[in-house]
Structure 1
């Protein structure tokens, strides 16, 4: 580790989401971003200068060789997560990999096995799992405030223009709604029920570029709980998650970035609000900082086993939908 008072991050990738990460980093104590790497050195250096980062590099390898880093945030397009993560792990540097950790289970498994073998911290950046409001939601559920939970509904969808070369619609970049935003409703259902579904049906609108543009999932979980989940890149979907029980319900508006929850039971309504200090990314960054300081190799809140489960489930769903990526073995 570098300076004991600071956790020094590097970033691989400097697209839109990197700006959200940097904005959140401003409120995290004891950590800062000291370097960024991209596919083009000049663009990376220009981004670094614009963002007040010390320097930029044309590859993750150059950055790792030149810098003393404690952790690296990988936010490149999905198919390049594995290469960047592997380089960091080989260098003994902790890694936070943007979701999905890899486009499929095979890639996710290679990252996880490499991290575990090397004893290096690795975590998928599923930031929703660290939002404080979910502590309130969990307490309400555990206290039986809504009775026995019977159904969770959650969807995440937006209407983007269909551009075949854009990462959302390009199969070479693991495009589609499932990996980009479908993991959010799948994750909240898993968080609520503590398991992936035991049975489910999945249906999709597969577009002209052969990626899933809209996905609808009906699922059953151990213990009898049900879920209705959806995702889309070509349609705006309802943004609230609703947990419905035998005695009431909990609504979580904009559930993937939530700072508010509403409990309704009979005529009683209770609202809890926990505003983010920045944009919500700060909580997953603080998890990485805490784990690196403590010498942990996995997060208890977002373990690598969960990343493997989600990658496997998404593989299964895509297989049912007939969606495969050109870089996958056995794809046409």
Structure 2
């Protein structure tokens, strides 16, 4: 549910010499691995801004379902925010140190919408909007000096469009297959168990995302029973 629980899980895994891995799909999709490879090679120039939307329409009629149920760790942040924040963090040079936000809660006490702005030491910005009560496109735009990259349906994306600043031409990038998302998670776990440090380090990104989510929920006053 929070950073303290994740820290405890990591410590137990280390104590027993087992591999702990976050199954959030965006950490494992080949598309993001390819885009990050090109980013790290300097193809895109400096990353300046990440903008991400994620909106689902969930009826308020049944507030006992998992989306709104405080006893089931409901709310937009843990249900859909994790995907947006994971994409944002993958393209940032470091963890955001400054975070400002506004969050709306429903009568059960969980968050149903949020607007978030983050900034790290490199002055890279992340802007995220989330809602469980309005349909939005799952759209991410990562802006660099030389281009911007647009990824739609980003939680399990296998396709991105790069629009180059100099002449406006569009480059289509395909990597992986959406239907194999869970297979990529298992493959990365196998590689991590076999000693691939690049796969083991994915948990550091997950820890950064959990730290952001924990802070945001605290700022919004969203507390689950186990945390009281």
TM-score by length of 1: 0.63
Superposed displacement of residue 145, structure 1: 4.1
User: Structure 1 residue 152 and structure 2 residue 53: aligned?
Assistant: no
Structure 2 CA distance, aligned partners of 1:159 and 1:280?
A: 24
Who is 2:202 aligned against?
A: 302
Alpha carbons of structure 1 residues 277 and 313: separation in structure 2 relative to 1, 3 Å:
closer
Tell whether the 8 Å contact from 1:193 to 1:222 is kept in structure 2 after alignment. no
Who is 1:287 aligned against?
A: 188
User: Structure 1 residue 250 and structure 2 residue 153: aligned?
Assistant: no
How does 1:186-205 map onto structure 2 within 5 Å?
186-205=85-104
Point out where structure 1 has 5 or more consecutive residues left out of the alignment.
1-102
Superposed displacement of residue 312, structure 1: 2.4
TM-score by length of 2: 0.90
Tell whether the 8 Å contact from 2:158 to 2:178 is kept in structure 1 after alignment. no
Tell whether the 8 Å contact from 1:133 to 1:259 is kept in structure 2 after alignment. yes
Tell whether the 8 Å contact from 2:192 to 2:200 is kept in structure 1 after alignment. no
Structure 2 CA distance, aligned partners of 1:277 and 1:193?
A: 24
Tell whether the 8 Å contact from 2:138 to 2:153 is kept in structure 1 after alignment. yes
Point out where structure 2 has 5 or more consecutive residues left out of the alignment.
none
Q: How many residues align?
A: 225
Provide, for residues 136-184 of structure 1, a one-character-per-residue CA deviation record: whole Å limited to 9, x for no partner.
Answer: 3224433444432211101222111122111110111111000111011
Who is 2:227 aligned against?
A: 328
Structure 2 CA distance, aligned partners of 1:119 and 1:301?
A: 15
Moved over 4 A (4+): 295-298
RMSD of the alignment, in Å? 2.1
Superposed displacement of residue 271, structure 1: 0.4
Which protein, 1 or 2, shows the higher relative CO under an 8 Å CA cutoff with sep ≥ 6?
2
Tell whether the 8 Å contact from 1:120 to 1:297 is kept in structure 2 after alignment. no
Give the greater-gyration-radius structure (CA): 1
Tell whether the 8 Å contact from 2:157 to 2:178 is kept in structure 1 after alignment. no
Who is 2:10 aligned against?
A: 112
Tell whether the 8 Å contact from 1:263 to 1:270 is kept in structure 2 after alignment. yes
Provide, for residues 74-113 of structure 1, a one-character-per-residue CA deviation record: whole Å limited to 9, x for no partner.
Answer: xxxxxxxxxxxxxxxxxxxxxxxxxxxxx11222222111
User: Helix, strand or coil for the counterpart of 1:115?
Assistant: helix
User: Helix, strand or coil for the counterpart of 1:238?
Assistant: strand
Structure 2 CA distance, aligned partners of 1:298 and 1:248?
A: 26
Provide, for residues 34-69 of structure 1, a one-character-per-residue CA deviation record: whole Å limited to 9, x for no partner.
Answer: xxxxxxxxxxxxxxxxxxxxxxxxxxxxxxxxxxxx
Tell whether the 8 Å contact from 2:94 to 2:122 is kept in structure 1 after alignment. no
How does 1:233-272 map onto structure 2 within 5 Å?
233-265=132-164, 266-272=167-173
